Amino acid sequence: MTATDERSHPAFEDEFQATIDADQRIEPRDWMPEAYRKTLIRQIAQHAHSEIIGMQPEGNWIGRAPSLRRKAILLAKVQDEAGHGMYLYAAAETLGVDREELTEKLIESKQKYSSIFNYPTLTYADVGVIGWLVDGAAICNQVPLCRCSYGPYARAMVRICKEESFHQRQGYELLLAMVNGTPAQKAMVQESVDRWWWPSLMMFGPADGDSPNTQQSMAWNIKRHTNDELRQRFVDMTVPQAEALGVTLPDPDLRWNDERQAHDFGEPDWSEFKAVISGAGPTNAQRIAHRRRAHESGAWVREAARVYADKQAAKKREVTA
């Protein structure tokens, strides 16, 4: 049976469920329910698009990095994100979709990507804050995905997570340098934290009560924790780091709760989240237009690769004829 086989059969379903129950991996050759396949395609495609679109906000600063060292670090980080997109498109292709088709869907706004990348990067401190908060939130989301029930996705995530740790560290190290710099640099960090804090909390998705797909994804071992559990983990991890940096997180309700042994915190503005996710964020149109331009200007590369592959195939046929 192949992944694209839509027939259902009790014996296949039993085998699938037994694999999930034993916490083992489903591989591309295994039978899987159509809804499982569709859920994974949607999630992996959204994830791949996020990596690719996510190159833009920071890519914006490569040409203006303040030193050769900062430029080399940022360049490496943005290139890593391109690589993450490629692994993930390859993982999605094992489910029977085509990368070309996924790219088309992205530039026609038929598939989503993380809302966080629809905010502009206004200062160099944003490079540090994105590494610290956005890659930090990505790590919380992605480490449990290394144990996702779908083998190719889980394996891609192992490597991605190693690189995300470097991203988080480089961001934090940049901020540490800035907060120990001039008062203007320290103020720049605080202003950036004020803008990115709430959008970072929104990266975990809607509150559990408003997240209809979570239960099914958890039953399938695609997701291991709910959105609210991951958000809590992120807040608890980040607060001491903010203290070490000497910056304030812009939430008057943020405080340690001794009873829960966790931080209480305020509610993100979900109407803003919904607006940004449905296309009305500050830079949605700009991000998609840029991606479309890049795709169109790369058409000749894809065409050349196709012609070359055809020629190689024809040569092979000549030899074997």
Cβ closest to Fe ion, residue 19 vs residue 103: 103
Residue 6 near residue 36 (C-beta atoms within 8 A) = no
The answer to whether residue 49 forms part of the interface with Fe ion (CB under 5 A) is no
What is the footprint of Fe ion within residues 60-99 (CB under 5 A)? 81, 84
The DSSP call for residue 180 is T
Q: How far is the CB of 165 from Fe ion (least distance, A)?
A: 9
The answer to whether residue 47 forms part of the interface with Fe ion (CB under 5 A) is no
Cβ closest to Fe ion, residue 84 vs residue 263: 84
Q: How would you label 183-193 residue by residue, b for 16+ Cβ within 10 Å and e otherwise?
A: eebbebbbbbb
Cβ closest to Fe ion, residue 36 vs residue 128: 128
Residue range at the interface with Fe ion (CB under 5 A); choices 32-40, 132-140, 236-244, 259-267: 132-140
With left for phi above 0 and alpha for psi between -120 and 50, is residue 130 left, alpha or beta? alpha
Q: How far is the CB of 51 from Fe ion (least distance, A)?
A: 5
Cβ closest to Fe ion, residue 81 vs residue 126: 81
Q: How far is the CB of 135 from Fe ion (least distance, A)?
A: 4
Task: Spell out, one character per residue from 157 to 196, where the chain touches Fe ion: x when CB under 5 A holds, - when not.
Answer: -------x--x-----------------------------
Give which of 228, 131, 222 is closest to 178, Cα–Cα: 131
Residue range at the interface with Fe ion (CB under 5 A); choices 90-98, 113-121, 131-139, 206-214: 131-139
Q: How far is the CB of 53 from Fe ion (least distance, A)?
A: 11
For 236, counting Cβ atoms within 10 Å of its Cβ (0-12 exposed, 13-18 middle, 19+ buried), the class is middle
The answer to whether residue 58 forms part of the interface with Fe ion (CB under 5 A) is no
Residue 54 near residue 87 (C-beta atoms within 8 A) = no
- Percent of the chain as helix, strand, coil, to the nearest 5: 70, 0, 25
Distances (CA, A) of 37 to 32, 34, 99, 179: 7, 5, 16, 46
- Alpha carbon distance 189, 307 (integer Å): 50
Cβ closest to Fe ion, residue 20 vs residue 102: 102
Q: How far is the CB of 50 from Fe ion (least distance, A)?
A: 8
Q: Where does this chain bind Fe ion (CB under 5 A)?
A: 51, 81, 84, 135, 164, 167
